[in-house]
């Protein structure tokens, strides 16, 4: 007789599945421990909780894809998912909250907004730090109480929604300068999933390149390597060349590289290192920080500190006591910095 499906049993089974040398969950592929740990935490939050989730990470790292994956693995998967571009909210507010007839000139009929359309499902606040303080207050009430007012209505509408917020911003700086309200942030981070940059998981580059290559071949209606038609593949000597690059927009940048390579090789079936050098000459030794274009001295200093901590930890094979001695800080202080900067220990 099989044991009852408890949270502990499920977690043990899921951990064993992710302990394999290769991880593949739809668009998430790779061999790195950081991706395995991220998916483990994400699936736990998806399947065992209904609380808000905060997903942070650099541009192009796959935050929106992860939000979709969480929705598809949750109990809400049969209900809609609405992804809201928070930078465009002033123009979308009417479509988002809906309105009542006569609310403004031209409102000749009631309109059900996107929040009500997503009732029972998931709302993704993409780049939520771009919300104005007024809109943060509006969403705060929806997140906490599950109610909102349509434009022109004095009656509150109730909705059952799960919120996922994504950001590539330095949230502590955003709170300090007043862009993000701390009480609103505190409602969104029941789970804080940190997506690593591509530079922090170079071992995933071959799998990602292969997946992206097959996807583009499929879109072009060209047979892939396993379909008996024309095949395109990477020469294995390409991997060190690609891994030496730093892509400012991470996986999205890798996707652009694949497109350029397919155009360059024309009818050839093998992508060579010289092809990579030809289409990506400016990407070598690029020093893009872990967050986007820092403007303050503090964020520049923190980015440099994070890079150096990663280098020291890799040199010591993540022996934290040895790394702490090298950095001349306590192991406890090093652990806090790893947590603060989202550095995953293998």
Mean pLDDT for the chain overall: 79
> Among 175, 196, 217, where does a domain finish?
196
Given a cut of 80, whether residue 219 has pLDDT beyond it is no
62-96 residue pLDDT tens? 999 999 999 999 999 999 999 998 887 665 666 77
162-167 β-sheet, strand order = 81-85, 122-126, 162-167, 53-56, 191-194
Structural domain boundaries, residue 149: 52-196
What is the rounded distance in angstroms from the CA atom of residue 54 to the CA atom of residue 124?
A: 10
| Per-residue CA distances from 45 to 26, 85, 166, 187 (Å) | 17, 23, 15, 15
pLDDT band at 129 (very low <50, low <70, confident <90, very high): very high
Tell me what pLDDT residue 67 has.
95
pLDDT at 290: 38
Give the tens place of pLDDT for each residue, 137-163.
989 999 999 988 776 566 778 899 999
The structure tokens listed for 200 are 């922090």
Q: Which of 142, 137, 136 is nearest to 163 (CA)?
A: 142
- Rounded Cα distance, 104 and 124, in Å: 28
In this structure, what CATH number is given to the domain that contains residue 336? 1.10.10
**Domain assignment of residue 176, yes or no:** yes
The band of 48, judged by pLDDT with boundaries at 50, 70 and 90, is very high
Section 5-26 average pLDDT: 38
How far is the C-alpha of 21 from the C-alpha of 37, rounded, in Å? 13
Give mean pLDDT, residues 200-209.
90
Asked if pLDDT for residue 15 goes beyond 50, the answer is no
Given a cut of 50, whether residue 204 has pLDDT beyond it is yes
The SS3 of residue 121 is coil
Same domain, 138 and 81: yes
Q: Is residue 218 part of a domain?
A: yes
pLDDT surpassing 80 at residue 296: no
DSSP string, 209-276: HHHHHHHHHHHTT---TTTTS---EE-TTHHHHHHTB--TTHHHHHHHHHHHHHHHHTT-SEE-HHHH
Q: Which of 149, 168, 196 is the last residue of a domain?
A: 196
68 and 187 belong to one structural domain = yes
% of the chain at pLDDT higher than 70: 75
Clarify whether residues 184 and 90 are in a common domain: yes
Q: Could you report the per-residue pLDDT of 307-339, keeping only the tens digit for each? A: 788 888 888 888 989 999 888 899 888 888 887
Does the global pTM surpass 0.75?
A: no
Domain-terminating residue out of 196, 217, 249: 196
Structure tokens, 258: 């694949």
pLDDT at residue 55 is higher than 90: yes
Does 128 score more than 50 pLDDT? yes
Mean pLDDT of 199-208: 89
Domain count, the chain: 3
Confidence category of residue 283, pLDDT binned at 50, 70, 90? low
Closest by Cα among 310, 330, 292 to 168 = 292
Query: Residue 2: its pLDDT value, please?
Result: 41
Q: In this structure, are 180 and 270 located in the same domain?
A: no
Q: Which of 103, 98, 163, 99 is nearest to 131 (CA)?
A: 163
Q: How far apart are CA 225 and CA 223, in angstroms?
A: 7
Angle of helix 133-145 relative to helix 89-97, nearest 10 degrees? 30
Return the exposure string of 142-162: e unless at least 16 CB atoms fall within 10 Å of the residue's CB, then b: bbeeeebebbeeeeebebebb
**pLDDT at residue 16 tops 70:** no
pLDDT of 180? 94
User: Which is more confident, 265 or 26?
Assistant: 265
The string of DSSP codes covering 124-181 is: EEETGGGS-HHHHHHHHHHHHHSEEE-BT--SEEE---EEEEEE-S-HHHHHHTTSS-
Element (H, E) at 27: none
Residue 123 within any structural domain of the chain: yes
Encoded tokens for 39: 């998916």
Q: Please indicate, yes or no, whether residues 189 and 272 belong to a single structural domain of this protein.
A: no
Q: Are residues 104 and 169 in the same domain?
A: yes
Strand-pairing partners, residue 53, are 164, 191
The whole-number pLDDT of residue 302 equals 74
């Amino acid at each position: 007789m099989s044991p009852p499906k408890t949270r502990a049993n499920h977690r043990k089974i899921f951990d064993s599945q992710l302990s394999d040398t290769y991880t593949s969950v739809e668009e998430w592929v790779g061999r790195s421990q950081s991706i395995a740990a991220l998916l483990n935490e994400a699936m736990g939050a998806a399947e065992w909780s209904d609380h808000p989730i905060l997903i942070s990470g650099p541009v192009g790292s796959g935050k929106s894809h992860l939000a979709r994956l969480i929705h598809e693995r949750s109990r809400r998967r049969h209900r809609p998912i609405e992804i809201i571009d928070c930078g465009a909210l002033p123009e979308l507010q009417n479509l988002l909250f809906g309105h009542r007839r006569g609310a403004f000139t031209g409102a000749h009929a009631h309109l059900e907004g996107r929040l009500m359309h997503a009732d029972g499902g998931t709302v993704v606040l993409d780049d939520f730090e771009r919300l104005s303080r007024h809109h943060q207050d509006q969403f705060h009430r929806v997140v906490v109480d599950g109610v909102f007012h349509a434009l022109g209505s004095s009656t509150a509408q109730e909705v059952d929604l799960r919120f996922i917020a994504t950001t590539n911003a330095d949230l502590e700086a955003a709170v300090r300068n007043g862009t993000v309200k701390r009480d609103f942030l505190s409602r969104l981070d029941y789970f804080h999933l940190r997506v690593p940059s591509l530079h922090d998981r170079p071992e995933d580059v071959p799998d990602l390149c292969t997946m992206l290559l097959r996807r583009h071949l499929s879109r072009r209606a060209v047979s892939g390597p396993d379909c008996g038609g024309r095949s395109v593949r990477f020469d294995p000597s390409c991997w060190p060349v690609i891994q030496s690059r730093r892509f400012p927009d991470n996986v999205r940048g890798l996707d652009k590289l694949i497109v350029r390579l397919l155009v360059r090789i024309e009818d050839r079936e093998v992508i060579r290192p010289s092809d990579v050098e030809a289409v990506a000459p400016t990407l070598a030794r690029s020093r893009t920080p872990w967050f986007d274009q820092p403007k303050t001295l503090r964020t520049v200093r923190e980015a440099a500190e994070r890079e150096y901590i990663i280098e020291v930890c890799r040199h010591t094979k993540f022996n934290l006591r040895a790394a702490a001695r090298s950095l001349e800080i306590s192991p406890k202080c090093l652990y806090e910095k790893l947590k603060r900067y989202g550095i995953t220990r293998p």
